[in-house]
Amino acid sequence: MGEAVFMPGTGNGLDILEAEILKSRYLREGEEDWEDVCERVAKAIASTPEEYVEFLNLMVSKIFVPSSPTIMNAGTVSGQLSACFVIPVEDSIEEIFDSLKTAALIQKTGGGTGFNFSNIRPDGSPSVSGVGTASGPVALIRLFNEATEIVKQFGRRRGANMGILDISHDDVNPFIRAKREEGKLSNFNISVMVPDSFMRLVEQGNMDEIWNAKTGAKVGEIFSEIVEGIWRNGEPGILFYDRINRDNFTPALGDISATNPCGEEPLLPFESCNLGSINLSLIVEDGKVNWDSLRETAGKAVRFLDNEIDINVYPVPEIEEATGKTRKIGLGIMGFHDMLLKLGLPYDSTEALGLAEKIMEQVTYSAVRMSRKLAAEKGTFPEYENSIWELPIRNATLTAIAPTGTISILAGCSAGIEPVFSWVYRRARITGNEFMLVHPLFEAHFKPKLPESSYDRLLEHIYTRGTLQDITDPEIVDEEEKKLFRSALDIDWKTHIDIQAAFQRHCHAGISKTINMPQKARKDDIGKALVYAWMQGLKGLTIYRTESRQRVVLSLKSPVNKL
């Protein structure tokens, strides 16, 4: 890792980081800046001159930004625009390698792939041919992981996978431990698919109940393995099967058993989904939410994402067919914490919780309204008659909240619905060096207020500790500022979950969010959080305990003295 250089926010480090990302990932031949990229993408997606102007304005203003594959590939020979895919994995050598090839073609173009490996027979069971024994799902995941490592050499974006195993599978404990050693399966996130019946036993304390009669595994044994893995390094994640399938809008096509790599888009086999996000920080005007602007942007974004389905170049025919049947899109949001800062609302306030629910309600309402308008113009999705929708609509599902790690940098806002990690932090660069960044709204608030020496000491303190809550000098930070400028680790895990649940109540698909816990968090806290998340109606959960991994994208400086 190269030497870190401190680069305070608005006019320096963030601009340089954005320029680096543009150059390394998105600029095509002849393009020099973001406006050039937007022109290429808008021209490719629009079907009329009016749409071109509309889509160009959305992107140039950064009030709406589509996902990375669309920005990279629209208007190019590749033409693959989707971010999310689910590929089935069946239990024969031919089907396994068909899935592997399909995944490679997707990842080459910047898409992410999700797999449920539960159809693979357990390690040591008789093979299909009757000669020898099966290697099991964990061995297969290692194969897929190595294939992704090779595919990286051909693309601009790191390959990403989600490996899922049902909690009833005989190999679930080895699967849970598969990433216990840091660096193993580095191209995979892993998650356990858990039904309500299992969580109900945990919630009731029935830990001695036999869950798997074949292996003799008890509920408590499996749950403890999950908690241990999360406590050690944040994996596995949890997916709640029954909650996901209660929002399966096309149940006649089968149950949903897998998601994309970040977990926000549950999909049927071979389905793909186009993602894009509204920048909430630009919806605030004169200290108030411009609800008309939010609704208008959501409607335009739905037309943008729906257009993508028809011009998309799909990696294999099965994906084109499955995607065409349901026409799913994933409109989400980013910049939520920045919005709160502009409104003067702490992330962990009652007002923030209410606003979160109202925002998603309005985004989804506006998305549905536009999708119904598109259905009148162009027709419903083909499987509409086999869906739970009562009125004609163009898209089976419309909303999902992605992590927006890269596109939020391009948009100049906080990521997804996450609280700001730290007001001063270190970020790994694509080139191998590191950026030290100051959040621009933090800088805009404190830099004019404080003498230069005090401001520099404040930055150093936060850069070291990740918080300003322990600063005792009211001349530097007063109590109201402490309430407003609470970052990820200042916020209780229950609040993290409550915010995710508030957005989930009006979101068709799922939500990618990290539930941050301090380094001192106990395993008991993690167990309680998993149960609480299930009871709050989340579709999935990722918990990260600070400093439980060595390699992270965002980090702080080693400790020094207090301010």
Question: What are the residue numbers of the active site?
Answer: 260, 262, 264
Distance CA 88, CA 74 (A): 27
| CA atoms in the 13 A half-sphere facing the CB of 74 | 29
Distance CA 348, CA 488 (A): 10
With vertex at residue 394, the alpha carbon angle to CA 303 and CA 387, rounded to the nearest 5 degrees, is: 150
| Residue 388 Cα distances to 276, 308, 368, 371, 393, angstroms | 24, 24, 14, 15, 11
- Long-range contacts formed by 36-45: CB under 8 A, 24+ apart: 37/71, 40/74, 40/75, 40/76, 41/66, 41/70, 41/71, 41/74, 41/75, 43/75, 44/74, 44/75, 44/79, 44/311, 45/70, 45/74, 45/304, 45/307, 45/308, 45/311
Please provide the distance, in angstroms rounded to a whole number, between the alpha carbons at the two ends of the chain. 28
Structural contact between residues 269 and 321, judged by C-beta atoms closer than 8 angstroms: no
Structural contact between residues 115 and 163, judged by C-beta atoms closer than 8 angstroms: yes
Query: What are the residues facing 192 on neighbouring strands?
Result: 165, 238
Neighbouring CB atoms inside 10 A of 344's CB total 12
Rounded-to-5 percentages of helix, strand, coil across the chain? 45, 15, 40
Q: Is 204 exposed, middle or buried (0-12, 13-18, 19+ CB in 10 A)?
A: exposed
Distance CA 81, CA 308 (A): 7
What are 537's two structure tokens? 């109606």
Distance CA 322, CA 268 (A): 8
- Dump strand ranges (E) for 219-323: 237-240, 258-259, 266-267, 272-279, 284-285, 288-289
| Residue 446 Cα distances to 49, 454, 457, 521, angstroms | 45, 10, 12, 31
Phi-psi region of 130 (alpha: psi -120 to 50; beta: other; left: phi over 0): left
Helix (H, G, I), strand (E, B) or coil at 401: strand
| Residue 372 Cα distances to 65, 188, 375, angstroms | 23, 37, 5
With vertex at residue 384, the alpha carbon angle to CA 333 and CA 506, rounded to the nearest 5 degrees, is: 30
Q: Which residue has the tokens 């004019």?
A: 448
Neighbouring CB atoms inside 10 A of 553's CB total 11
What are 450's two structure tokens? 């404080």
Q: What are phi and psi of 138, to 5 degrees?
A: -65, -40
Distance CA 297, CA 292 (A): 8
